[in-house]
Structure formats: C-alpha cells, structure tokens
Amino acid sequence: RQKVTINIIRKLYSDNEPITVLTAHDYPSASFVDKAGIDICLVGDSLAMVALGHESTSPEMLHHCRAVARGAKSPFMVADMPFGSYEVSINEAVKNAIRFIKDGKMEAVKLEGGTEMAETIRAITRIGIPVLGHVGLTPQRQSSLGGYRVQGKTLEKAKKLIEDAKAIQEAGCFGMVLETIPEPVATHITKLLKIPTIGIGAGPGTSGQVLVQLDMLGIFDRFAPRFAKTYANVNSVITDAIRTYHKEVKERKFPAKEHCYPMEDGELERFLN
Ligand code: KIV
Ligand code: NA
C-alpha cells in the first residue's frame, strides 16, 4: 500500500474524499489500522483510559508511539501531546513536539485548544512539524468544561468555537479534530475552513471521521458516548475464547494430540535404558 503523506491528506481533502482516522495504542492495534487501509493513525491520549485503565487522559505517550510506529507503516502517523507537555511555555512545547518526531517516530502532533494555543501551534509548524488541532470537547480540559459534554450549543459558544477554528487554521494546522459539537456547527466550520476537519461526535458534514479503536471494536465498555458506534463486539469474542480455554484445561481437553510434539516410538525408552 502507498504510504500516506501529508500531501495525500491534502489531496483527499481537495478531492472531497472523506478522510479516515483511527486510534492505535500498541503494535497489534496499529497493524489493524494499517491492514484496513485507514488514512491517519492517531496515538490518542485516550489510550490512558481505554488501554491503561486510568480515569482520565494523561499517559506516558512516547513508549506507545514507538510501538505503534512499528506496527503501522502506511498511514500518516499523528500523536497526541499529553496534558502538561505543551501549555507551560512555547519552548517546552516545541522541545516536546520534537521528541514525538525523533523518539516517538511520529510524523505529526495533535494538541488541544483554540485561539490561546495559536502561538504555540505557529512555533511548532514553523520548524516543520505538522500540527493537527483539536477544538470542541477537549478532554484534557474536562474539569474546566464541567465534564464530557457537548460544546458550542449556544450561539455565543458556537461563535467562539468558529473563532478558535479560524485562529488555529491561521496558525498553520494542517487539519483539526472537532469533538462533540452540534452537527450544524461542525458543518458550518468545515465549509468556512480551507483545511480538513476530522469529526468525532460532530456529524457527517466534516471532512473526515475519527473513532477510538477499542470503543468501535466494543472492547472498552465502561461507558459509550452517543457517537461511539460499535462495529463489532470483540469483547464477547475474547471473553468467550478465554472462557473456553479455561474450561478445556480444567476438563483436560487441551492440549490435544495435535498440539503435542511427538517422538519416534520407543526412542525415549531406548535412550533411558
Ligand atoms: O485521544 C484520542 O483518542 C483523541 C481522539 C478521540 C480524537 O483525541
Ligand atoms: Na486525545
């Protein structure tokens, strides 16, 4: 399969072909993204919740990035900058963005925020690191948002969201995630911008879609927002398989003859005698 570059992302956008994005957090999940032909592989910091069992997002990302990079060769590779790695100063943000490229083997970074992050985005893109923006529901700020709730529902809030989207486009983002906002607002922003929007809980009017892999496979089942369509119930497939293994060992049905390594008849006895 052809390697997806940022130019191919731009081409998909100008051809009006929806862009597919799916998260991965380790080697096997990355290889699924690659094999299925997904355009952009995102090492989202949601992995802290869905793969590490934390209550909110804030993991050690570089370790996961390297594993994902080994598993996916064709998609365009983007990593979430975790909370605390880009807010304190522009210098620190640039330094940490470089770590994702050099140590994490990623091709671009994603960071959350609107107008207030524009200078930071400008500084990172200036040194040649593509930035994917993220506005709307920004989970790293869920405390100040009062939880995981729909953003931009009032006219005033929608206007602010539009200003934020324009500001980070102006700052040099190659695209942006629109998370959990009313469909008409997402469609309006998409029409207004000259770069692709990637929606999650933002309706069909965006330039592309993103889902969290463990959600869409029905593996992470602690809670499911409205937008999280499950394409398979892998949770029950895995649990059934492991339950069967457990039962077969208890009943001495596994391992069977075909799982054993034979020896020639009498060889061991001849050796022992
Ligand atoms: O962390 C994540 O997986 C994300 C996507 C849901 C956009 O930020
Ligand atoms: Na994220």
Reported as a single tens digit per residue, the pLDDT across 251-262 is 999 999 999 999
Closest C-alpha to 190, from 7, 39, 18: 18
Catalytic residue numbers, as ranges: 179
Pocket of ligand 1 (CB under 6 A): 23, 44-46, 80, 177, 200, 210, 212
As a whole number of angstroms, the distance between CA 23 and CA 186 comes to: 21
**Residue carrying the six token digits 């039962």:** 247
pLDDT in the model for residue 1: 86
Q: Which of 109, 148, 200, 209 gets mutated to test ligand 1 (max ligand atoms within 8 A of its CB)?
A: 200
For the segment 233-258, the average pLDDT, to the nearest whole number, is 97
Enumerate residues with CB within 5 Å of ligand 2 (an ion): 44-45, 80
Tokens read off for 251: 């009943």
> Which ligand 1 atom is nearest residue 46's CA?
1
Q: How far is the CA of 155 from the centre of ligand 1 (A)?
A: 26
In this prediction, residue 57 carries a pLDDT of: 63
For residue 273, pLDDT over 90 is answered with: no
Q: Which ligand is nearest to the CA of 180?
A: 1
Q: Mean of the pLDDT values across residues 141-145?
A: 91
Neighbours of 93 (CB within 10 A): 22
Ligand nearest to the CA of 177: 1
CA 215/CA 227 separation, integer angstroms: 10
Looking at the CA of residue 57, tell me the nearest atom of ligand 1. 1
Q: Is the pLDDT of residue 59 over 80?
A: no
Residue of 22, 25, 41, 46 to test ligand 1 pocket, by largest number of atoms within 8 Å of CB:
46
55 band by pLDDT with thresholds 50, 70 and 90 = confident
What residues form DSSP beta bridges with 175? 132
pLDDT at 35 over 70: yes
